C-alpha cells in the first residue's frame, strides 16, 4: 500500500517499465527525476558536493556522505554474526560471505571459487597470462 497516489504511480513504473526522465546528454531514460539529475552531473563532469576536510568532490550528496566516513571513522554497518563494523554496506555484504561460505565466482578453468569479483578477475589472469599493469619507467 502507498501513502498517496503519487507514490503509487511512481511504484507502478517498475511494472510498466516507464522511464519518463531522459538524460539531456545521452538520452538514457530513468524512472525517477532524482536519478536523471545525478546521471547528468556524471555525464557533464559536475561535482558540486565538496568535502570540507580534503576538497574531494562528488556528483551526489550520498557519495559525499559515504566519503565523509573515511574522515570521521563512522562504521554504521555491523555484522550480526561477529559484530565487525564497516563504513559502507557493500563492505558488510562482502564480509558476510565469510560466515555463509558463499563463493559465487566460480573459475571455469579450474575448481577454485571466490567470494569477491576482484579476486576472481585477478585469478583469471593466472590462466590467461594477461599482465595489464606495466611499469611507466621501464615498460
Give the residue extent of every domain in the chain. 1-74, 75-138
**What is the grid cell recorded at 22?**
531522459
pLDDT at 1: 87
pLDDT at 132: 86
- State the chain's maximal CA–CA distance in angstroms: 64
Alpha-carbon span 49 to 57, nearest angstrom: 5
Assigned CATH class of 1-74: alpha beta
Detail the DSSP E strand segments found in the chain. 21-22, 29-30, 49-50, 57-58, 77-78, 85-86, 105-106, 113-114
- Give, rounded to a whole angstrom, the gap between the first and last alpha carbons of the chain: 61
48 closest CA partner among 97, 37, 24, 86: 37
| 1-74 shares its CATH topology with 75-138 | yes
**pLDDT tens digits, residue range 62-82?**
999 999 999 999 999 999 999
89 closest CA partner among 59, 114, 66: 66
Is 90 exceeded by the pLDDT of residue 21? Answer: yes
Partners of 133 in beta bridges: none
In CATH terms, the fold of domain 75-138 is: Double Stranded RNA Binding Domain (3.30.160)
Q: Tell me what the mean pLDDT of segment 13-33 comes to.
A: 95
Phi-psi region of 129 (alpha: psi -120 to 50; beta: other; left: phi over 0): left
The model scores a pTM over 0.75: no
**What is the grid cell recorded at 83?**
559484530
**What is the grid cell recorded at 8?**
503509487
**pLDDT tens digits, residue range 82-139?**
999 999 999 999 999 999 999 999 999 999 999 999 999 999 999 999 888 889 899 7
**pLDDT tens digits, residue range 41-59?**
999 999 999 999 999 999 9
Amino acid at each position: 500500500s502507498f501513502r498517496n497516489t503519487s507514490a503509487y504511480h511512481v511504484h507502478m513504473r517498475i511494472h510498466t517499465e516507464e522511464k519518463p526522465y531522459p538524460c539531456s546528454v545521452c538520452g538514457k531514460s530513468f524512472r525517477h527525476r532524482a536519478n536523471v539529475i545525478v546521471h547528468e552531473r556524471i555525464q557533464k563532469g559536475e561535482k558540486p558536493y565538496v568535502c570540507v576536510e580534503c576538497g574531494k568532490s562528488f556528483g551526489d550528496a550520498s557519495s559525499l556522505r559515504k566519503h565523509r566516513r573515511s574522515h570521521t571513522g563512522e562504521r554504521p554497518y555491523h555484522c550480526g554474526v561477529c559484530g565487525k563494523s564497516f563504513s559502507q554496506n557493500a563492505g558488510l555484504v562482502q564480509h558476510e560471505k565469510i560466515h555463509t561460505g558463499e563463493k559465487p565466482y566460480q573459475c571455469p578453468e579450474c575448481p577454485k571459487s571466490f567470494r569477491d569479483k576482484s579476486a576472481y578477475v585477478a585469478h583469471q589472469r593466472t590462466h590467461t597470462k594477461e599482465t595489464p599493469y606495466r611499469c611507466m619507467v621501464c615498460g
